[in-house]
Structure formats: C-alpha cells, structure tokens
C-alpha cells in the first residue's frame, strides 16, 4: 500500500514533536509536510525546532523546509498540534479545502457535529463526520481527540459504564509536566511541590467525559448523563497522568466483576485492528502500589491505560486508579489512532 501523505500543523512544538516521533516508520502514513508559525516557516526543521524529546529528530526530516500555515500542503491528512485559538481559525480552512484534520486541540471538541474520539471507547462516533461534512459543506473533515486526563479517566470508565451503568464519579488527577506544553512550568515553581490547579482542566474532564461516554444516533450525539466532579493537580512528574476515581453504579459490581470487565474490554470492533492500537486498551495490575506513572506510562508504547487498586468505596461503589502516558495516548498517539480509524472506516481514501 502506498503510504498516505500527512502533514503536522504545529510541528515544532512539544506535541508536534511527538507526532514526528510516532509517525516515524508508521505503516500507513508518511510525513510530507511540517508546518509551523510564520517565525519558523521557510527554515529547515533542524533550524526551526528546539527538539526537547529524548533522542534526536529523524535524519530525513532535518532538512525539510517548514511550511507556513496554509491549506496547500502535499498531504491528504493533517495532524493538528496547534494552540486552540489558532486551531479555531486554521482547522476549518483545512477541512474546507479537503484535508482530514485529526486535531489534538480543544477548539472544536464541544461542537455538536465534531466527534471527540478515543477509538476503543467510542470509535463508532466517527460517523458524525458524515453530518459534519453534509452540514458544513466541507470536502474534508475534523476529528478531535479529547483532553489527556479525560482520556485516562474515560478509558477504564467506558467498559464499566457499559456493563454496570455509571451514575456518578469523582476524578482527582495528578498530572505530569509535559501536559503543560513547552516550556510549561518552571523548575523553581514545580520542584518539591504540587500545584492544585490547571486552568480549564476540571471543566474539560467534566464535559468531555460526557461526550465520550454518550451515544450517537442517526442524527445527533446524546451526551451521557452521569454526574462528574473533577479536581486537577499538577505534580513534579515528567510524563504520565494519574487519575483517582470513585464511581457509583446503577448495577453494583463486585471488585472481581469490575476487574474482569476491564481486562476483557476490547471496545467497538471498528477499533480492533488499528496499527497503533494495543492488543487490549486496558491493563489491570494486581500489585497494591500500581499503577505508577514512571513504571507504567511506557507500557505497550504508551498506548494503554494501566489500572490498579480496584477496591470498594465507602461512599460510592468502587475506587480505582488509572495512569496513562499523557503525551502519547493522551495527545499525539490518540490523534494518530483517530487517523487510523478514519482510514480503516473508509473516510480517507
């Protein structure tokens, strides 16, 4: 199969760099354009990019000329790592011009005709793009991936909701630094410290979870209706968000039943054989002190949610802890998986 040419919008930033890293040797996609702001456009990627991830950028991209943010790229699909205010303006221009936009930005997540997708959770929402293109008259489309912490919460919540109907949940997160972009927080502020606040994060968890756990009918997306309360904290951790969940169900599962459901979950069939998908989206650990961000974030190339401490809750029904790699599954990797879903579903030819 000839690879699909793809572009990265915001290719010099920290999420853009992750896209570059994850798309190296991808079986279906090939990077043909690196796009960044005016300041960087026209320079080589080597010059324009202050690479902050481990290792070095791929040799073959070093001399590519960074392109300006205009919808005339030699690509069929674009990954957007743009800041939300810029995404809000640019992404529709790309969709209109015929590109499939897989966005990591929050700009359009709440629009009623823009799907926010984790393939194993709600891959079937992909059909929303049919209304989207019909309504907006676009030749292309926009698909978004959710906020990183929401991803870490919703991956284990989905199978539990499907099996036992969640009525309410509390989510308290301890989030890694790389989720704050680059340069993000200063060492002097974050070291030996915890910051009990992340701008907009709690609201994102409380609203995006409902979209992801909702249903899509022929004509509309019906958000789920459980009640959610979130508390978001930033901690001195490089990568890996932890979410502590307390969950109330309509049908009360035992701890063992919950673990079985989590372990065996595969998600909608449409998401089963995507190249970046792990064999099972959720790994359940039985040690009392797992999951831990440093030890579990890289499992299965950072694409799973690792869950542990499933136990009864004295107020609700169950408590558990989930860890995901915020920069991979919770950001660039999630969008790559969405792109694979688009291809697999025939939305990109």
| Residue 235 binds to its own copies (criterion: CB under 8 A) | yes
DSSP per-residue letters across 277-330? --SSSEEE--STT---HHHHTTGGGGTSEEEEEEEE-SSSSEEEEEEE-TTIII
- Options 5, 83, 223, 236; binder of its own copies; rule CB under 8 A: 236
What does the block give as tokens for 116? 């926010």
Interface size with its own copies, residues (CB under 8 A) = 59
Q: For residue 26, indicate whether it is catalytic.
A: no
Do 331 and 18 meet the contact criterion of CB atoms below 8 Å apart?
A: yes
Q: Does 44 bind its own copies (CB under 8 A)?
A: no
Cβ nearer to its own copies, comparing 119 with 302: 302
Interface pick for its own copies out of 165, 187, 215, 301 (rule CB under 8 A): 187
- Nearer to its own copies by Cβ, of 114 and 324: the residue is 324
Candidates 228, 282, 303, 310; binder of its own copies (CB under 8 A) is 228
Q: Does 326 bind its own copies (CB under 8 A)?
A: no
Distance (Å) of CA 175 to CA 108, 179, 192, 292: 23, 7, 15, 12
For its own copies, the binding residue among 25, 38, 55, 279 (CB under 8 A) is 55
What minimum distance in Å lies between the beta carbon of 298 and its own copies?
6
**Strand, helix or coil at 246?**
strand
Window 3-42: contact mask with its own copies (x via CB under 8 A):
-----------x----------------------------
Stretch that binds its own copies, among 87-95, 99-107, 133-141, 292-300 (CB under 8 A): 292-300
Which residue, 192 or 269, is less far from its own copies as judged by CB? 192
**Minimum CB distance to its own copies smaller for 28 or for 249:** 249
Q: At 150, list the tokens.
A: 């929401």
54 is a contact residue toward its own copies (CB under 8 A): yes
Task: State in angstroms the smallest separation of the CB of 21 from its own copies.
Answer: 13
Known active-site residue 241: yes
Q: Is residue 298 part of the contact set for its own copies (CB under 8 A)?
A: yes
Please state, in angstroms and rounded to a whole number, the distance separating the CA atoms of residues 212 and 114. Answer: 12
Residue position matching structure tokens 């043909």: 32
Site residues for its own copies, window 143-182 (CB under 8 A)? 168, 170, 172, 174, 177-178, 182
Q: Distance from CA of residue 287 to its chain's centroid?
A: 27
Residue with tokens 């920069």: 327
- Which one of 102, 125, 239, 241 is the catalytic residue? 241
Binding to its own copies by residue 185, rule CB under 8 A?
Answer: yes
> Where does this chain touch its own copies (CB under 8 A) — which range of 96-104, 114-122, 241-249, 335-343?
241-249
Angle at 338 (CA atoms; ends 45, 346), nearest 5 degrees: 110
- CA-closest candidate to residue 79, choices 26, 12, 21, 16: 16
CA distance 133 to 131: 6
Distance CA 258, CA 22 (A): 32
Exactly one of 49, 102, 148, 325 is catalytic; name it: 148
Per-residue DSSP letters for 49-111? ----SSS---GGGTTPBPBPS-S--S-SEEEE---HHHHHHHHHHHHHTTPEEEE-SSTTTTS
Positions marked active-site: 148, 241
Contact residues for its own copies, defined by CB under 8 A = 14, 52, 54-55, 168, 170, 172, 174, 177-178, 182-197, 199, 206, 227-229, 231, 233, 235-238, 240, 242, 244, 246, 288-295, 298-299, 308-309, 313-316, 319, 321
């Amino acid at each position: 199969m000839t690879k699909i040419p793809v572009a990265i919008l915001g290719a010099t930033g920290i999420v853009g760099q992750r896209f570059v890293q994850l798309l190296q040797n991808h079986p279906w996609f090939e990077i043909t354009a690196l796009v960044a702001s005016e300041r960087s456009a026209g320079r080589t990627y080597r010059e324009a990019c202050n690479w902050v991830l481990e290792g070095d950028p791929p040799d073959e991209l070093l001399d590519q000329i960074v392109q300006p943010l205009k919808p005339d790229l030699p690509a069929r699909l674009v990954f957007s790592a743009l800041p939300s205010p810029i995404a809000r303006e640019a992404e529709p221009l790309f969709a209109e011009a015929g590109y499939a936009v897989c966005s990591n930005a929050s700009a359009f997540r709440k629009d009623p005709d823009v799907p926010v997708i984790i393939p194993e959770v709600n891959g079937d929402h992909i059909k929303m793009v049919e209304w989207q293109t019909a309504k907006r008259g676009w030749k292309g489309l926009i698909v978004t991936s959710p906020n990183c912490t929401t991803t870490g919460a919703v991956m284990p919540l989905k199978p539990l909701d499907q099996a036992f109907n969640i009525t309410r949940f509390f989510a308290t997160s301890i989030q890694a630094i790389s989720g704050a972009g680059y340069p993000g927080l200063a060492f002097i502020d974050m070291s030996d410290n915890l910051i009990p606040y992340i701008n907009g994060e709690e609201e994102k968890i409380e609203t995006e979870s409902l979209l992801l756990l909702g249903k899509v009918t022929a004509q509309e997306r019906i958000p789920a209706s459980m009640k959610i309360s979130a508390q978001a904290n930033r901690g001195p951790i490089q990568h890996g968000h932890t979410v502590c969940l307390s969950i109330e169900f309509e049908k009360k599962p035992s701890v063992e039943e919950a673990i079985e459901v989590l372990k065996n979950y595969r998600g909608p069939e449409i998401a089963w054989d995507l190249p970046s998908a792990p064999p099972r989206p959720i790994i359940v650990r039985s040690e009392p002190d797992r999951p831990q961000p440093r030890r579990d974030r890289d499992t299965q190339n950072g694409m799973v949610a690792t869950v542990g401490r499933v136990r009864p809750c004295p107020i609700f029904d169950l408590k558990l802890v989930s860890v995901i790699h915020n920069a991979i599954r919770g950001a660039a990797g999630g969008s790559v998986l969405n792109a694979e879903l688009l291809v697999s579903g025939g939305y990109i030819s």
